[in-house]
């Protein structure tokens, strides 16, 4: 029996990650405006930071067995994208902190206009940085994904060549 490269699985995982990334982006942007307490944003950001750092470590520490020069470049690109995503998520934590700092002033009539302005400026920044973070994560995921499937394809080719 000849082992085959699972093209369907390679494509399916990409087609699942693409819409899922945009769903996460929509949830991330709406979370800022719908969170009753700004402190609800911290766990969301810390989780995204942890996942991004973990993926960066996977990409940087992956030991390539084949096509070392090509593998290294693609994995470095993925690791850099995941690292950039984690830095952007840290900026989201800072924005959540600023929103938390502004929230007591929303109830006061004298500072209401200023705090609402700051709230919406921070919301715009949150949206821009969230979009950038999700795109960085997605591009890093695609590079890492493609490299893993290329390794799989090469391994299957070698196995098929060895068997009569």
The string of pLDDT tens digits covering residues 85-143 is 999 999 999 999 988 887 777 767 777 778 788 888 999 999 999 999 999 999 999 99
Report the C-alpha gap between 19 and 154 in whole angstroms. Answer: 28
Confidence (pLDDT) at 85: 94
pLDDT at residue 65 greater than cutoff 60: no
| Residue 103, CA atoms < 13 Å, CB-side half-sphere | 15
Higher-confidence position of 136 and 9: 136
Confidence (pLDDT) at 34: 87
Question: Is-contact 152 5, C-beta < 8 A?
Answer: yes
pTM: 0.80
- Measured in Å, how far apart are the chain's first and last C-alpha atoms? 10
Confidence (pLDDT) at 67: 58
Question: Is-contact 79 60, C-beta < 8 A?
Answer: yes
């Amino acid at each position: 029996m000849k082992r085959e490269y699972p093209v369907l699985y390679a494509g399916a995982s990409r087609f699942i990650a693409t819409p899922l990334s945009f769903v996460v982006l929509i949830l991330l942007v709406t979370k800022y405006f719908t969170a009753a307490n700004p402190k609800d944003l911290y766990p969301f950001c810390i989780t995204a930071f942890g996942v991004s750092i973990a993926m960066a470590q996977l990409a940087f520490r992956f030991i390539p067995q084949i096509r070392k020069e090509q593998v290294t470049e693609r994995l470095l690109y993925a690791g850099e994208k995941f690292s950039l995503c984690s830095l952007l998520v840290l900026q989201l934590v800072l924005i959540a902190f600023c929103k938390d700092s502004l929230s007591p002033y929303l109830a006061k009539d004298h500072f209401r206009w200023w705090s609402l302005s700051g709230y919406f400026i921070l919301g715009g920044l949150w949206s821009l940085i969230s979009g950038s973070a999700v795109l960085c994560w997605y591009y890093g995921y695609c590079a890492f994904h493609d490299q893993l499937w290329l390794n799989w394809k090469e391994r299957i080719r070698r196995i098929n060549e060895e068997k009569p």
